[in-house]
């Protein structure tokens, strides 16, 4: 497999290299366990002295092919599949942050991530400071403490669709010698490769565009292999792990220390592993990811332009529009397109929004984004309803906001459906 392949080729051919007589297609290895002849060999597997599969919670050939492919597409050293995007985010933090420690996050987050960070992690003794990602660097730097372990942000903030200033965030993380963890679910490796802009760890909810067909819930963590864990601040990666006979991750695994620790320690203990069937679906989804992301982006831009000129619409937010505050940044970090999600404000507020959603016929009312099929959602009454109004506003949700996840159907049919539903929403 060539490192120089373009991402379209990696998406098709990466991660699996069949030998003569092997199946052409990655097989669904639906087996919990793997057979060996020698007890000594199995002991070596357990001690991580040899690589191989022995139990699907810790690794599986189907998941392995998916992990290798996405690591290649992101330009990282290795990846770890998880049972959901939430699991990926949780492990990405737990791997380097424990009770009594702290991390910093951009406040513009997916609602589930916001709850995890604002409610659940503090109960476990992990403290978090939310910062406005548009604040100047010196203000964000003030949020750091002696025990700050990481900086977290999304490539495209959900649902404000603000594009991250990677340069600013990676410089801040570098100055403070902590890793920059990026949730790149909305961008996918086709539209943006965060490691190229200074990120150290990437997480994805593979449930969205990577699956792309709304069949499976899953997540993945990708390790850039580009952070110096040996800077004195991360003893859990440099000092002996007593749960592994004194294994030292950095010494033994070099640039893959973080992701191997996440697998052999956290996945072993917390067990949020993906099923082989789901890994097969994600691997299949990756094959067409470049084609789909281009179409999602092209369709979303066309819808955004159409809505911006529509009398029933008070505002449109899409980073591909010159009116969006992230427009210039999107040209730099998302040159191929800005993904399929856009938001707009409907005239008549929440009641008109309800009529609009219920009047859509091709566009389905579902709690999802990143499906090949177009879908629509009112975040204030669904994904963000557990947040207070203040928290909603701080994560970019207003009552009139409608979120569209533009699919890959023909653009004319999508726009026709929007127009008829908008017309109904404005009737007295
Ligand atoms: C959906 C989503 C998640 C959570 O992923 P699940 O697979 O639903 O657990 C995290 N981040 C973003 C940006 C998402 O859209």
pLDDT per residue over 355-381, tens digit each? 999 999 999 998 889 999 999 988 777
Shortest-distance atom of ligand 1 to CA 370: 15
Confidence of residue 93 (pLDDT cuts 50, 70, 90): very high
What is the percent of the chain with per-residue pLDDT over 70, rounded to a whole number? 99
Give the per-residue pLDDT at 2: 67
Distance CA 26, CA 70 (A): 14
Pocket test for ligand 1, best of 81, 82, 85 (most atoms within 8 A of CB): 85
Ligand 1 centre and the CA of 243: distance in Å?
Answer: 31
User: Looking at 45-49, 95-99, 239-243, 293-297, which range is the least confident one?
Assistant: 45-49
Is 290-425 a domain of CATH 3.90.1150.10?
Answer: yes
Residue spans per domain, the chain: 7-277, 290-425
Shortest-distance atom of ligand 1 to CA 206: 7
Confidence of residue 43 (pLDDT cuts 50, 70, 90): confident
Give the per-residue pLDDT at 409: 98
What would the mean pLDDT of 193-214 be, rounded to a whole number? Answer: 98
What would the mean pLDDT of 234-251 be, rounded to a whole number? Answer: 94
Q: What is the residue with the minimal CA distance to atom 6 of ligand 1?
A: 85
What would the mean pLDDT of 271-290 be, rounded to a whole number? Answer: 98
Give the per-residue pLDDT at 60: 97
- Ligand 1 pocket, 211 CB below 6 A? no
Distance CA 81, CA 150 (A): 21
Peptide bond into 159 cis (omega under 30): yes
Residue 194 · residue 174 · CB < 8 Å: no
User: Do the strands 401-405 and 219-223 form a parallel or antiparallel pair, or are they unpaired?
Assistant: unpaired
Pocket test for ligand 1, best of 186, 205, 384, 403 (most atoms within 8 A of CB): 205
Residue 304 has pLDDT above 80, yes or no: yes
- Ligand 1 pocket, 110 CB below 6 A? yes
Q: What is the residue with the minimal CA distance to atom 5 of ligand 1?
A: 85
Residue 387 has pLDDT above 80, yes or no: no
Residue 5 · residue 290 · CB < 8 Å: no
Residue 16 · residue 61 · CB < 8 Å: no
Beta-sheet strands, E only, within 186-308: 201-205, 219-223
pLDDT per residue over 163-196, tens digit each? 999 999 999 999 999 999 999 999 999 999 999 9
User: Looking at 247-261, 349-363, 407-421, which range is the least confident one?
Assistant: 349-363
Give the per-residue pLDDT at 1: 65
β-sheet with 148-154: strand ranges across:
78-82, 219-223, 201-205, 180-183, 148-154, 102-106, 127-131
Shortest-distance atom of ligand 1 to CA 154: 13
- Burial status of residue 367 (CB atoms within 10 A of its CB: 0-12, 13-18, 19 or more): exposed
What would the mean pLDDT of 114-134 be, rounded to a whole number? Answer: 97
Task: Please compute Rg for the chain using Cα positions.
Answer: 22
Give the per-residue pLDDT at 305: 98
What would the mean pLDDT of 114-120 be, rounded to a whole number? Answer: 96
Does pTM top 0.85 for this prediction? Answer: yes
Q: What is the residue with the minimal CA distance to atom 2 of ligand 1?
A: 205
- Ligand 1 pocket, 74 CB below 6 A? no
Compute CA distances 141 → 103, 168, 199, whole Å: 12, 11, 17
Give the per-residue pLDDT at 42: 86
- Ligand 1 pocket, 115 CB below 6 A? no
Residue 217 has pLDDT above 80, yes or no: yes
User: Looking at 89-98, 260-269, 372-381, 405-414, which range is the least confident one?
Assistant: 372-381
- Number of Cβ atoms within 10 Å of the Cβ of 260: 21
What would the mean pLDDT of 95-118 be, rounded to a whole number? Answer: 95
- Ligand 1 pocket, 217 CB below 6 A? yes
Residue 280 has pLDDT above 70, yes or no: yes
Residue 392 has pLDDT above 90, yes or no: no
Specify the fold of 7-277: 3.40.640
Higher per-residue confidence, 319 vs 46: 319
Confidence of residue 395 (pLDDT cuts 50, 70, 90): low
State the sign of the Cα–Cα–Cα–Cα dihedral 387, 393, 219, 99.
Answer: negative
């Amino acid at each position: 497999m060539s490192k120089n392949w373009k991402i379209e080729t990696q998406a098709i051919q990466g991660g699996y290299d069949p030998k003569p007589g092997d199946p052409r297609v990655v097989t669904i290895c639906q087996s919990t366990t793997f057979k060996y002849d020698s007890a000594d060999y199995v002991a070596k597997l357990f001690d991580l002295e040899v690589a191989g599969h022995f139990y699907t919670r810790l690794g599986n050939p189907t998941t392995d092919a998916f992990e290798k492919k996405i690591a290649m597409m992101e330009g990282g050293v290795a990846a770890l599949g998880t049972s959901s995007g939430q699991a990926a985010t949780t492990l990405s933090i737990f791997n380097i942050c424990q009770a009594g420690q702290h991390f910093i996050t951009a406040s513009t987050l997916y609602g589930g991530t916001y709850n995890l960070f604002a409610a659940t992690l503090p109960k476990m003794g992990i403290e978090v400071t939310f910062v406005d990602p548009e604040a100047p660097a010196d203000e964000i730097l003030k949020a750091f403490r002696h025990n700050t372990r990481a900086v977290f942000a999304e490539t495209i903030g959900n649902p404000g669709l603000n594009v991250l200033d990677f340069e600013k965030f990676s410089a801040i993380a570098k100055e403070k010698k902590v890793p920059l963890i990026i949730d790149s679910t909305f961008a996918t490796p086709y539209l943006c490769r965060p490691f190229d802009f200074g990120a150290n760890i990437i997480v994805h909810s593979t449930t969205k565009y990577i699956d792309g067909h709304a069949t499976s819930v899953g997540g993945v963590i990708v390790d850039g292999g580009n952070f110096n864990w040996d800077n004195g601040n991360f003893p859990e990666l440099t000092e002996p792990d007593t749960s592994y006979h004194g294994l030292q991750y950095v010494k033994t695994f070099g640039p893959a220390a973080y992701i191997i620790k996440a697998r052999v320690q956290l996945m072993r203990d917390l067990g949020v592993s993906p099923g082989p069937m789901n890994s097969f679906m994600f691997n299949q989804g990756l094959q067409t990811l470049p084609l789909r992301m281009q179409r999602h982006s092209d369709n979303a831009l066309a819808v955004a332009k159409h809505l911006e000129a529509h009398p029933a619409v008070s505002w449109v937010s899409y980073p591909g529009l010159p009116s969006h505050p992230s427009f210039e940044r999107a040209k730099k970090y998302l040159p191929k397109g800005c993904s399929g999600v856009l938001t707009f404000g409907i005239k008549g507020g929440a009641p008109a929004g309800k009529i609009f959603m219920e009047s859509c016929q091709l566009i389905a009312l579902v709690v999802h984004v990143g499906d090949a099929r177009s879908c629509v959602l009112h975040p204030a009454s669904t994904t963000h309803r557990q947040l207070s109004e203040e928290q909603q506003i701080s994560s970019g949700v207003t009552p009139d906001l409608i979120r569209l996840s533009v699919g890959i159907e023909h653009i004319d049919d999508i726009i026709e459906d929007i127009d008829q539903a908008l017309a109904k929403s404005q009737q007295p």
